[in-house]
Amino acid sequence: MNLAYTPTTICAVATAPGRGGVGVIRISGQGLLPFAQAISAGKTPKPRYAMYSDFVGADGQAIDNGLLLYFPGPASFTGEDVIELQGHGGPVVLKMLLQRCLQLGARLAEPGEFTKRAFLNDKLDLAQAESVADLIDAASESAARSALKSLKGAFSSEIHTLVEQLITLRMLVEATLDFPEEDIDFLEKADAVGKLHTLRAQLQTVQASARQGALLREGMHVVLVGEPNVGKSSLMNALAGDDIAIVTDIAGTTRDTVREEIVIDGVPVHIIDTAGLRDTDDVVEKIGIARTWQAVERADLALVLADSRDGIRPPLQAILDRLPPALPRVHVFNKVDLSGEEVGRSEQDGHPLVRLSARSHAGVDVLKALLLEMIGYHGDSEGVFLARERHLDAIARAEQHLSLAAQDWQQVEIFAEELRMAQNALSEITGRFTPDDLLGVIFSRFCIGK
């Protein structure tokens, strides 16, 4: 039986690949009650109630059994009719059920298409839609809490407030364009510049929260560099709390980059242990050293390790001279358990210096705290929104336009145009003003069942 549904009916497995106790298939489209009846052998589901049923094929034979939930639109996640089939989580049975959905006229959903439909049907704005993926991908409890706040609309509410204030200010400014001989006096009496300063201050507060949220979402990439046998692998193991990297007294043990993700106070930190930098004739070690420099180019922060008994020797100074000038760095003097120096933090050549023992873990907490300080994370995620790079870019562009507006407020046409551009930039965050090609990029990064 083929019910000949329109091509807009979509279906997908909504649970993770592999075997599990429960597998879920989601269907979204228009007029799906006959679809539900066909797959449940003629049963009519009650909206928003779980109905136990066999799930049958075209020949009426049961493929599986479980719960069927029917959500008539617009009171559903996508705003359309939605059906969820909750059966057993075996790959074969899910494939058979998915094939049955295709027989009934559905097509396979594209990545993120369910959430995209929710956005297009005004069930979510764009920032909320992105937070669905962020909640799934959250690497820490802090990131998950911030993503949930964004999903519930906290970030969007802040942006909407700013946009509404911008609209009010634009109305005030553009109303003067018809009376050019009085425009400056009118704007001064209405305190347009004061309103603009207040708006900029609020935007900067949101920007600070968004930057903190970007750190929770993306984390930071920290590369360990130094001469061979100074304890880079030991430090990585100490930071990770596990024996990730091989540690020996033989110089050149690490011949390739080793990556591990840890969480410090809710912030994901991607640590990259690298091959010791030195002149060598070993072909394999040379490849590892080349990859070390590639990792350095992509890093957010460099931990430059030295043996505390040696300090910065000429070979290490050569490494320092080659590091990108703009790359923040922390000098780490390891093995204080052998040198007899005190654990602690100081400064050297304008860069932070931490003395520690990777082997005994003494001073590692000092280094962790410094890492958070170096990236500007303040440790409080309560008011933080899990922002993306495009959000930070939009806020930065809005701030730039408001800055230009403040400079040229006496040229009313320019003032009005800069305010308009600032509003457009902020509206990109929620999707009120977003190019279609950007939507395609955003939702293509979602998993299939969302």
Strand pairing report for 258-264 and 301-307: unpaired
Q: Which of 265-279, 403-417, 430-444 holds the top average pLDDT?
A: 403-417
User: pLDDT of 116-170, one tens digit each?
Assistant: 899 888 898 888 888 887 787 776 777 777 778 887 878 888 889 998 888 888 8
Closest of 221, 189, 166, 210 to residue 401, by C-alpha = 166
Mean pLDDT along residues 216-238: 81
Q: Please give the pLDDT value at position 138.
A: 74
C-alpha distances in Å from residue 434, one per residue of 114, 126, 260, 368, 441? 19, 9, 36, 39, 12
Which domains, and CATH codes, for the chain? 10-120 (3.30.1360.120), 126-431 (3.40.50.300)
User: Own/partner pairs for 309-314, CB < 8 Å, 24+ apart?
Assistant: 309/335, 309/338, 309/339, 312/348, 313/227
For residue 326, the tally of other CB atoms under 10 A from its CB is 5
Percent of the chain with pLDDT over 90: 28
Torsion of CA 347, 351, 352, 353, to 10 degrees: -70
- Lowest-confidence segment of 149-163, 229-243, 322-336, 375-389 by average pLDDT: 375-389
Q: What are the beta bridge partners of residue 54?
A: 65
Cis before 74? omega within 30: yes
